[in-house]
Amino acid sequence: MLVSMKDMLNNAYHEHYAVGQFNINNLEWVATVLKTAKENRSPAILGVSGGTIKHMLGFKTIHAIVKNAMDYLDIDVPIALHLDHGQSYESCFAAINAGFSSVMFDGSHLPFEENLEITKRIVDYAHKRGVSVEAELGTIAGSEDGIVNSQVIYADPNQCLTMVKETNVDCLAAALGSTHGLYKGKAKLGFNEMQHISNLIKIPLVLHGGTGICDEDMLHAISFGTAKINVNTENMYTWCVAVGKLFAEQKDHDINDPRKVINHGLNPVAEKITERMKLFGSVNRY
Ligand SMILES: [Zn+2]
């Protein structure tokens, strides 16, 4: 079932678990996340970044692949197809028009009033079509697909409350110290701030930059109202390491089938995703 994030995140929020957003990169990646979700009876969010939109030939192609893959694999757990870090209302509208069930508008680099106004416009458009919206406040450091921020700026609690009240957004990525990509040293999350914001806004929080946050901190975040955790870098890294090893070990043998190479790298990715689903508490929910 391709569904919005609304019900799956509200369920997770009230039952104190989190749903993983696993970014996709190609057809086989889509199949891996879908099969792993089904095997674990877990909901899942397929994240689509700006780089993937280009790599997978646009919103319509991606939607067609996911929809038909779900039919082919007989997927019977809730799956959301979500635009990750949408950069404009145009790109959010294009994703929605192509059939995406969820979008994120990342207006965190804009002045607050502008972020608020555009988010509201997107929520109005999305909700009429049964599509969920994630907003962002504060700054997540690190780099992901060309989005580079050198410093962490914590989300302002009052702005979070205004954003939720005025836009009716479904979930909020309030930046509180997490980083995209690989961390330099241990991640330090602002749990006091997270608890405070969560108590104010009373809707699911989203944690970006899941790679490198220790299990204990993830569970802590979930206990403070985080109901969506984005994991991307560790899966990409896992694939690259596995495929690199395959070639290193079989220098002069017969690697001649790209399909096998791609899937070889995805086996450990499926294991990683299963570990994450178990940690987040999203298995056997459906
Ligand atoms: Zn992110």
**pLDDT for 150-199, tens place per residue?**
778 899 999 999 999 999 999 999 999 888 887 766 778 999 999 999 99
Specify which residues 203 forms β-bridges with.
none
Are the CB atoms for 173 and 150 separated by under 8 Å?
no
**First CA to last CA distance, the chain:** 12
Rounded Cα gap, residues 4 and 95, in angstroms: 13
* SS3 at position 253: coil
Q: Which DSSP category does 109 fall into?
A: T
- The CATH number covering residue 109 comes to 3.20.20.70
**99: in domain:** yes
Does residue 84 carry a catalytic annotation?
A: yes
Residue 286 lies in a domain: no
User: Could you tell me the distance, in angstroms and rounded to a whole number, from the CA of residue 193 to the centre of ligand 1?
Assistant: 19
pLDDT 10s digits, 35-69: 999 999 999 999 999 999 999 999 999 999 999 99
pLDDT (0 to 100) of residue 72: 98
The Cβ of residue 284 has, within 10 Å, a number of other Cβ atoms equal to 10
Q: Which domain holds residue 181?
A: 5-280
Residue 285 belongs to a domain? no
Q: Which of 71, 76, 84, 252 is catalytic?
A: 84
Per-residue pLDDT band for 15 (boundaries 50, 70, 90) equals very high
Task: Let me know if residue 201 belongs to a domain.
Answer: yes
Cα of 234 to ligand 1 centre, how many Å? 13
Residue 181's contacts (CB-CB under 8 Å, 6 or more residues apart) are 142, 143, 144, 209, 211, 233
Asked if residue 179 belongs to a domain, the reply is: yes
Interatomic CA distance for residues 143 and 149, integer angstroms = 6
User: pLDDT (tens digit, 9 = 90+) per residue, 74-118?
Assistant: 999 999 999 999 999 999 999 999 999 999 999 999 999 999 999
> What is the tally of structural domains in the chain?
1
